[in-house]
Structure 1
Amino acid sequence: MKKAIAVLGILALTVSCKTAQTASSGDSLRDAFKNKFYIGTAMSLPQIDGTDVKSDGIIRKQFSSIVAENCMKSMFIQPQEGKFFFGDADQFVAFGEKNKMFIIGHTLIWHSQLPKWFFVGKDGKDVSPEVLKQRMKSHISTLVGRYKGRVKGWDVVNEAIMEDGTYRKSKFYEILGEEFIPLAFQYAQEADPNAELYYNDYNEWFPEKVKTVNKIVRDLKSRGIRIDGVGMQTHVGLDNPKLEEYEKAITEYAAAGVKVNVTEMEISALPSPWGTSANVSDKVEYEAKMNPYTKGLPENVQQEWETRYLDFFRLFLKHQDKIRRVTLWGVTDNQSWKNDFPVKGRTDYPLLFDRNYQAKPVVKKIIDLTKEK
């Protein structure tokens, strides 16, 4: 009798283990996209230093790639000339290595979140082209060199082109002209010849912007300077951009000989304030109008939001041969920068995990898309 009970116990345990394996197999984004492209997220400081324990658990289970949300930007890495702070970045890279992730550094050259000293000489005036080149090279060489062979890809230049295809009139451009982009890529390539190098920007589906970015890609390649991908920042809403124009950009970048990185992705369900006025006398009404879902999304809006995510992921899977990675800009809704941009204090719902650290129903539906033939 005891033997029979023991056998039944073993059988029950075996069935239980198989059921558990079946339930866990493919139940994460990381597993589902394993043979398609990297699926990633940005990491904030509380996640990097381990104080946001619940988010860290989600990241380990769900994502195969991570990108530094802020800690590698120049104002934090080199707040004073020659004085680097690597504490947070070191922890970020260590987290990625421990969890066998594809680690992305963000960002080397960007006109924003930049320390004031970068362009200024002792006389308080703009530095010469030669001084700026030296500062760029020192910054890039030191940062990329520190993580050589460990950080697998770098956003080398960020947001340098306008929607009409012209160059942003940043100090980099004013002092060095168009050449600052090839120089940045050259310095990064010299610091780590094996790291993937990317150009990253938003609204990268605007036709004239696509043309200029592809011109930069072809120019770099013609010079023998490495560029592996174009990062398409995907801060999108429910109706903009149209999927057709986004898809057209994917195919055009691929035709230029680079992979597409879907970067900084989230989908806002809130109304856009662009084109609206905000007179002081109308402030209360305006703020209420721009923040309509403080108690949660209405069912019809939730459905529209979910459909939008699924449409994008169907597109990514359709073009998986052209896509290197898809990276969400954050883990949970309460972490998202969209709660404060472009209107402060809003309650937005743009990410895949809710404010209680729970996966939204859309996560399973995205996973199911990977199983369709």
Structure 2
Amino acid sequence: MHGLNTAGNNSKSYVSTVRLSCSAWAKHDNRTAGELRQNLIEFMTVLCQRYDKHPHVKWMDVVNETVLQSGKWHHPKNGTEKWENPWLLLGNDTGHTLNPPLYIKLAFELANKNAPNTDLIINQHGGMGKLMWEKIKALVSYLRQHNLRVDGIGWQAHIDVGWEQEANNMKQLDTLIDWAHDNQLSFHITENNVWLRDDEKDYQAQAQTFEAILGLLLKKRNGGVVTWNVWNLSDRDSWKKKMKLEGCLFDRNYRAKPAYYALQQVLENPPQAD
């Protein structure tokens, strides 16, 4: 993936590692915890070593989607049709009040060892739910207590049109960015798109939502590193299940939507920094 680094106004690469969107065979197989652990070690080691040597690869998602919006750890589920996280089979650190999954600490140990030149990120889905983000904040503290480097947190930002107008959303995002910077963490919007769920598509409203998100990041640019990234550039290349929601900057014919030009405007004329 490629992201905009507003601290330097340039484009640098962003790599995701331990993600939870696994194939049916990975959800249905009979690997033991020991075999899963070995798979994780081999995968993380090779991936980190491959990308860490490239200077344009600046950030790496070490783990993604680890906490549900309820504040519970993302966990395995029966069958192969559900969104699940098989990695909890490796166990939890039951000696800590947070009870964090062992795969998270292992992933950061491997990334710390094999990606010394890359900033290491915890990425997260969902909205601005308090329970979820408090768990992520506690996870940062837990990893640092074990002398593991954590350089930033990310939020996917898969949101509906008008998200910025809903009560407290922007204020909570503002506060989350400030918390990250106050704790020596960069902050990343990693997969932004804006869904149009109504049959009659309001592309101007979509543009306003995109602009609000990027505008807030730009306001925070003096407090620490902030970056912004999209999930897909065009609706033609979007996730098949959500393609009809037209959440991207370009339409199915690769023509720029109003959102593209709105973002261009806010980049050329950024708001005053905090």
TM-score by length of 1: 0.59
The structure-2 alpha-carbon separation of the partners of 1:362 and 1:113, relative to structure 1 and needing over 3 Å to count, comes to: same
Matched, 1:152 2:67: no
Q: CA deviation at 1:326?
A: 0.4
RMSD: 2.6
Percent identity between matched residues is 21
Matched, 1:103 2:13: yes
Matched, 1:223 2:146: yes
Q: Distance in 2 between matches of 1:172 and 1:269?
A: 33
Residues 279-302 of structure 1 show CA distances to partners (whole Å, capped at 9, x for unaligned) of xxxxxxxxxxxxx24xxx3xxx22
Q: Secondary structure in 1 aligned to 2:156?
A: strand
- Summarize the alignment of residues 340-359 of structure 1 with structure 2, pairs less than 5 Å apart: 340-341=241-242, 347-359=244-256
Structure 2 residue identity aligned to 1:327: N
- Summarize the alignment of residues 1-150 of structure 1 with structure 2, pairs less than 5 Å apart: 36=7, 64-65=10-11, 102-106=12-16, 108-114=17-23, 116=25, 124=30, 126-128=31-33, 130-150=34-54
1:304 to 205, 211, 220: 205
Q: Distance in 1 between matches of 2:211 and 2:68?
A: 29
Residues 241-270 of structure 1 show CA distances to partners (whole Å, capped at 9, x for unaligned) of 622222222223333331111011000111
CA contact (8 A) 1:333 1:353 kept: yes
Residues 48-103 of structure 1 show CA distances to partners (whole Å, capped at 9, x for unaligned) of xxxxxxxxxxxxxxxx54xxxxxxxxxxxxxxxxxxxxxxxxxxxxxxxxxxxx22
The structure-2 alpha-carbon separation of the partners of 1:118 and 1:147, relative to structure 1 and needing over 3 Å to count, comes to: farther
Residues 324-344 of structure 1 show CA distances to partners (whole Å, capped at 9, x for unaligned) of 31001111122122x523xxx
Q: Secondary structure in 2 aligned to 1:215?
A: helix
Matched, 1:166 2:72: yes
Q: Secondary structure in 2 aligned to 1:36?
A: coil
The structure-2 alpha-carbon separation of the partners of 1:176 and 1:197, relative to structure 1 and needing over 3 Å to count, comes to: same
The structure-2 alpha-carbon separation of the partners of 1:35 and 1:202, relative to structure 1 and needing over 3 Å to count, comes to: closer
The structure-2 alpha-carbon separation of the partners of 1:169 and 1:347, relative to structure 1 and needing over 3 Å to count, comes to: closer
Partner of 2:175: 248
1:329 to 231, 252, 255: 231
| Unaligned stretches of 5+ residues in structure 1 | 1-29, 39-63, 66-101, 272-291
CA contact (8 A) 1:118 1:132 kept: no
Structure 2 residue identity aligned to 1:127: T
Larger proportion of helix: 1
Partner of 1:97: none
CA contact (8 A) 2:220 2:226 kept: no
Partner of 1:214: 137
Please tell me whether Structure 1 or Structure 2 has the larger radius of gyration of its CA atoms: 1
Q: CA deviation at 1:202?
A: 0.6
Structure 2 residue identity aligned to 1:268: W
Q: Distance in 1 between matches of 2:39 and 2:153?
A: 25
Q: Distance in 2 between matches of 1:334 and 1:119?
A: 31
Q: Distance in 1 between matches of 2:206 and 2:127?
A: 22
Q: Distance in 1 between matches of 2:46 and 2:28?
A: 18
Structure 2 residue identity aligned to 1:304: A
The structure-2 alpha-carbon separation of the partners of 1:203 and 1:157, relative to structure 1 and needing over 3 Å to count, comes to: same
Partner of 1:180: 103
Q: Secondary structure in 2 aligned to 1:340?
A: helix
The structure-2 alpha-carbon separation of the partners of 1:229 and 1:204, relative to structure 1 and needing over 3 Å to count, comes to: farther
Aligned length: 244
CA contact (8 A) 1:204 1:249 kept: no
CA contact (8 A) 1:118 1:135 kept: no
Partner of 1:268: 195
Partner of 1:235: 158
